[in-house]
Amino acid sequence: MSDRIFGGLGVLLAAFYIWQATLIKESFIQDPIGPKTFPIIIGLVLGAASLVMIFQPDDEPFWPSAGRLVEVLMAAVVMLAYSALVSSVGFIVTTTVVAAYLAWRLGAHPLKAVMAGLLIAVGIYIIFHLVLGLSIARGPFGF
Protein backbone atom coordinates (compact mmCIF):
# COMPACT_ATOMS: atom_id res chain seq x y z
CA MET A 1 0.00 0.00 0.00
CA SER A 2 2.81 2.43 0.85
CA ASP A 3 4.39 1.92 -2.61
CA ARG A 4 1.12 2.87 -4.28
CA ILE A 5 0.77 6.00 -2.15
CA PHE A 6 4.36 7.00 -2.86
CA GLY A 7 3.88 6.21 -6.56
CA GLY A 8 0.74 8.36 -6.69
CA LEU A 9 2.61 11.26 -5.10
CA GLY A 10 5.40 10.72 -7.63
CA VAL A 11 2.95 10.90 -10.55
CA LEU A 12 1.53 14.16 -9.16
CA LEU A 13 5.04 15.57 -8.69
CA ALA A 14 6.02 14.51 -12.23
CA ALA A 15 2.94 16.19 -13.70
CA PHE A 16 3.68 19.39 -11.76
CA TYR A 17 7.34 19.27 -12.78
CA ILE A 18 6.50 18.82 -16.47
CA TRP A 19 3.94 21.62 -16.31
CA GLN A 20 6.51 23.94 -14.73
CA ALA A 21 9.07 22.94 -17.38
CA THR A 22 6.68 24.02 -20.11
CA LEU A 23 6.59 27.50 -18.55
CA ILE A 24 10.34 28.05 -19.02
CA LYS A 25 10.83 31.11 -21.19
CA GLU A 26 12.97 30.59 -24.25
CA SER A 27 15.44 33.22 -25.37
CA PHE A 28 16.12 34.09 -28.97
CA ILE A 29 19.58 32.47 -28.70
CA GLN A 30 19.26 28.80 -27.86
CA ASP A 31 20.30 25.36 -28.92
CA PRO A 32 18.03 23.26 -31.17
CA ILE A 33 16.39 21.26 -28.40
CA GLY A 34 15.71 24.25 -26.15
CA PRO A 35 15.79 24.64 -22.37
CA LYS A 36 12.54 22.72 -21.75
CA THR A 37 13.63 19.33 -23.07
CA PHE A 38 15.84 18.11 -20.24
CA PRO A 39 13.40 18.98 -17.41
CA ILE A 40 10.56 17.33 -19.36
CA ILE A 41 12.64 14.17 -19.80
CA ILE A 42 13.31 14.12 -16.03
CA GLY A 43 9.58 14.51 -15.37
CA LEU A 44 8.74 11.67 -17.77
CA VAL A 45 11.26 9.35 -16.11
CA LEU A 46 9.87 10.25 -12.67
CA GLY A 47 6.33 9.62 -13.92
CA ALA A 48 7.26 6.26 -15.46
CA ALA A 49 9.05 5.12 -12.31
CA SER A 50 6.08 6.21 -10.22
CA LEU A 51 3.66 4.29 -12.44
CA VAL A 52 5.79 1.15 -11.99
CA MET A 53 5.50 1.62 -8.21
CA ILE A 54 1.72 1.88 -8.53
CA PHE A 55 1.20 -1.15 -10.79
CA GLN A 56 3.98 -3.39 -9.43
CA PRO A 57 4.32 -2.60 -5.73
CA ASP A 58 6.78 -4.45 -3.53
CA ASP A 59 5.74 -6.31 -0.42
CA GLU A 60 4.95 -4.13 2.55
CA PRO A 61 8.23 -2.66 3.82
CA PHE A 62 9.70 -3.24 7.23
CA TRP A 63 9.64 0.12 8.97
CA PRO A 64 12.47 0.87 11.40
CA SER A 65 11.87 1.56 15.06
CA ALA A 66 10.94 5.03 16.29
CA GLY A 67 14.54 5.64 17.40
CA ARG A 68 15.85 5.02 13.91
CA LEU A 69 13.20 7.28 12.39
CA VAL A 70 14.27 10.04 14.80
CA GLU A 71 17.87 9.61 13.59
CA VAL A 72 16.73 10.01 9.98
CA LEU A 73 14.70 13.07 10.95
CA MET A 74 17.72 14.56 12.75
CA ALA A 75 19.88 14.01 9.66
CA ALA A 76 17.27 15.89 7.61
CA VAL A 77 17.21 18.72 10.17
CA VAL A 78 21.01 18.92 10.07
CA MET A 79 20.93 19.17 6.26
CA LEU A 80 18.28 21.92 6.41
CA ALA A 81 20.35 23.81 8.97
CA TYR A 82 23.37 23.38 6.69
CA SER A 83 21.57 24.98 3.76
CA ALA A 84 20.42 27.86 5.96
CA LEU A 85 23.83 28.53 7.54
CA VAL A 86 26.36 27.82 4.78
CA SER A 87 26.18 31.32 3.30
CA SER A 88 26.68 33.12 6.62
CA VAL A 89 29.04 30.74 8.44
CA GLY A 90 31.05 29.59 5.42
CA PHE A 91 31.46 26.43 3.41
CA ILE A 92 34.37 24.78 5.19
CA VAL A 93 33.02 25.26 8.73
CA THR A 94 29.47 24.13 8.00
CA THR A 95 30.54 21.25 5.75
CA THR A 96 32.99 20.04 8.38
CA VAL A 97 30.31 20.03 11.08
CA VAL A 98 27.67 18.34 8.92
CA ALA A 99 30.02 15.73 7.44
CA ALA A 100 31.39 14.94 10.91
CA TYR A 101 27.87 14.59 12.34
CA LEU A 102 26.76 12.30 9.53
CA ALA A 103 29.94 10.20 9.75
CA TRP A 104 29.44 9.86 13.51
CA ARG A 105 25.81 8.79 13.06
CA LEU A 106 26.95 6.23 10.48
CA GLY A 107 29.19 4.64 13.10
CA ALA A 108 32.56 6.40 13.03
CA HIS A 109 34.40 7.14 16.25
CA PRO A 110 33.82 10.83 17.14
CA LEU A 111 37.46 11.87 16.58
CA LYS A 112 37.64 10.03 13.26
CA ALA A 113 34.30 11.57 12.27
CA VAL A 114 35.66 15.08 12.88
CA MET A 115 38.82 14.28 10.92
CA ALA A 116 36.74 12.86 8.06
CA GLY A 117 34.46 15.90 8.10
CA LEU A 118 37.43 18.26 7.88
CA LEU A 119 39.06 16.26 5.08
CA ILE A 120 35.79 16.13 3.14
CA ALA A 121 35.20 19.87 3.50
CA VAL A 122 38.75 20.85 2.56
CA GLY A 123 38.84 18.35 -0.31
CA ILE A 124 35.59 19.63 -1.80
CA TYR A 125 36.78 23.21 -1.34
CA ILE A 126 40.05 22.51 -3.14
CA ILE A 127 38.38 20.71 -6.04
CA PHE A 128 35.45 23.04 -6.61
CA HIS A 129 36.94 26.42 -5.67
CA LEU A 130 40.65 26.21 -6.33
CA VAL A 131 40.77 23.72 -9.20
CA LEU A 132 37.47 24.36 -11.00
CA GLY A 133 37.19 28.02 -10.01
CA LEU A 134 33.58 27.78 -8.81
CA SER A 135 32.24 30.20 -6.25
CA ILE A 136 31.76 28.72 -2.79
CA ALA A 137 30.15 30.44 0.20
CA ARG A 138 32.69 32.39 2.22
CA GLY A 139 32.03 32.91 5.88
CA PRO A 140 33.42 35.46 8.29
CA PHE A 141 36.86 33.80 8.05
CA GLY A 142 37.00 34.10 4.25
CA PHE A 143 36.60 30.38 3.51
What are the sequence ranges of the domains in the chain? Answer: 2-55, 66-131
Spatial CB neighbours of 76, under 8 Å, sequence gap ≥ 6: none
Nearest Cα residue to 125 out of 108, 115, 113, 137: 137
pLDDT in tens, 14-24: 999 999 999 98
- pTM, two decimal places: 0.61
pLDDT in tens, 116-128: 999 999 999 999 8
